[in-house]
Each structure stands twice: as C-alpha cells, then as structure tokens.
Structure 1
Amino acid sequence: MSDNLSLKAFVVLMKASKSIQEAIKHDISNQGMRTSDFSILEALYHKGRLTVREVSEAVLINTGSITYVIDKLEKKGLLERSNCKEDRRVVYIQITEEGKQLMDTIFPQHQQVIEELFDGIAEEDIETTINVLKQVGIKASQEKADDN
C-alpha cells in the first residue's frame, strides 16, 4: 500500500474520531453528565456486574482515575460496590436500579445521536469500516506487544 494512502487514511481516521468524540461529548453533556460517568454507567448497563479492572478496560480509563469517578457515582446512588467473597482484592461494581432508570431514559437518545452520525451511509460500508478498523486495531496491538 502506498505510504501516502496509509498516511491519508490515518489523518482521516484521527479527524473523524475527534469529530465523533466531540459530538458524543456534546450529547452526553446535554444529559447533564460527564463522559467518564456516562461511559462507566453504560458499560454496567449493558454488561452487568463487572470488576473495577473490567470497567477500567471497558471504558479506557486507568484504574487510578476510575476510583474517583466510581466514588462520585456511588454517592449519587447510581452504582454500588460489592466485595468478592473468594478474593478480597477484587471489588465488583454494578448499576443500581436508580442508575438503570437513568440509563433507560438517556441511552435511547444517545443511541439515536450515534445512529444519526451513520445516517445515509450504506450498511455494507459500515460493515467494511468495522472490519477495517478491527484489523488496524489488532495490528497496532500486536506491534505494541512486539515492542515490549
């Protein structure tokens, strides 16, 4: 593949990613939430009970920062912690009924915003984009692992 084409694809990907992130951040702030709060609640809403580490990996927030966000969400009654009986080092996080009700209200709107970003793009093109981005992500992860 031409170096120029790879570079162009990279630049377009980065610009698109920035624009998408800004649109999503705007949507989430319109719901009166911070992106980190929403991301954690969304992970728990869709995946159920997770460990702090699993939440951190799902939302791409480091474990040091995530504790602060979890504390705030717990004080608001939107999630709760529970200790693992087999391993005291493991802490589970789960969404509360109040948190679920909040997500039942705001997630459909959020999903609509995402759907609108892809409106007018052929389903086949979206599937191709998914497959290409997965391949690039896997390759980048492998190269990072090879460096370590």
Structure 2
Amino acid sequence: MFGVEDAATEAAIRAYVKLMRASHAVSARTAPRLIAAGLTHTQLGVLEALLHRGPLTQRDLSRKILTSPGNLTDVIDKLAKRDLVARVACKEDRRSVRVVLTEAGRAFIESLFPGHAADIGAAMSGVTGEDLATLDRLLRRLGIAAGDD
C-alpha cells in the first residue's frame, strides 16, 4: 500500500499516520482555549512544566517539552515579556540559569490549566478505562523504543 515490501514497516506506517491524526485532533480540540489565552502549545508546556516540576534549567525544559534549545529560548523570551516567567541565576552554579514562574505566571497557569485538562479529557473521551491505560503503556513503550525517555 505504501510502496513498502516489509509488512512490519507497513504496519508501523499505518499506526504512525493514525497516531499523528489523533494527536492533531486532540491538539485542535485544545487550541481554542490556548488561542484565547494568547499561548501556543509549547508555551503552555513550559508553564505547565514549571507549575508541576518547579524551577528548571532551559536544558531540562527543552528535554521535558521536546523542543529545540533555540526554539525554547524564543518561547521563554515571549513568556518573560508577558511577565509569566523569569530567568534566575542558580546560586550553586553561577553558569546555570533556572526558569521560574512569576507570581503572575503561577496565577495564570493555575487558572488556565484545569480548563485545559478538561479539554484534553473531552478530546480523549472516546477512549476510557482499561483502553486508556493500555494506550498509556503502549505510548510509553513507543517513546522509549524511539529514543525518548
């Protein structure tokens, strides 16, 4: 079907296409709230990571939200311009800088995240219970096998 003779590769391509379509569908379902808040999905990822993990270096953030260091610098600059995050020198290592939520940033993400979580829940409501747990395990296994940890 895809011009591939290997059945395993063809099955992988089919699954990949479905994974991408599902990902885009869920992202489209969550986008209106983010657009209204003036955020991209990557900006939300930074705010969410800082809310749930605390201050992080840019390197740790780029790994956490799966974006390039160059893109992350731009994302953080834009969030800092809105006074949602700040860069703070690490006391233990002056070469290291941590990104932290400002008070305004914490209030912003704490008010936005419950609705965003509800949007995700609604978008994924077609998969529930044991199937959702299975999907979680399979996606984790896929991420590990593909080189993500």
TM-score, normalised via structure 2 length:
0.84
Select 2:133's aligned residue among 127, 130, 135.
127
Equivalent of 1:75, from 81, 84, 90? 81
Residue in 1 that maps onto 2:111? 105
User: 1:100: Cα distance to partner?
Assistant: 0.9
- Aligned twin of 1:145: none
Quick one: distance in 2 between partners of 1:5 and 1:63?
33
1:132: how far off?
0.9
- What residue in structure 2 maps to residue 84 of structure 1? 90
1:141 partner SS: coil
Gapped runs of 5+ residues in structure 1?
Answer: 143-148
What TM-score results when the alignment is normalised by the length of structure 1? 0.84
Question: Percent identity among equivalent residues?
Answer: 35
**Number of aligned residue pairs:** 142
| Long gaps (5+) in structure 2 | 1-6
1:120, CA displacement in angstroms?
4.2
CA contact (8 A) 2:26 2:124 kept: no
Letter aligned with residue 36 of structure 2: N
Task: State the alpha-carbon separation in 1 of the partners of residues 19 and 48 from structure 2.
Answer: 24
* Separation in structure 1 between the aligned mates of residue 11 and residue 87 of structure 2, nearest angstrom: 48
- 1: distance between equivalents of 2:42 and 2:128? 31
CA offsets per residue over residues 77-125 of structure 1, 9 Å max, x none? Answer: 1111111223222101110111111112111110100010122433100
Q: 2:13 aligns with which of 7, 13, 20?
A: 7
CA-atom RMSD in angstroms: 2.0
SS of 1:80's equivalent in the other structure is: strand
Give the distance between the partners of 2:106 and 2:132, measured in 1 at CA: 29
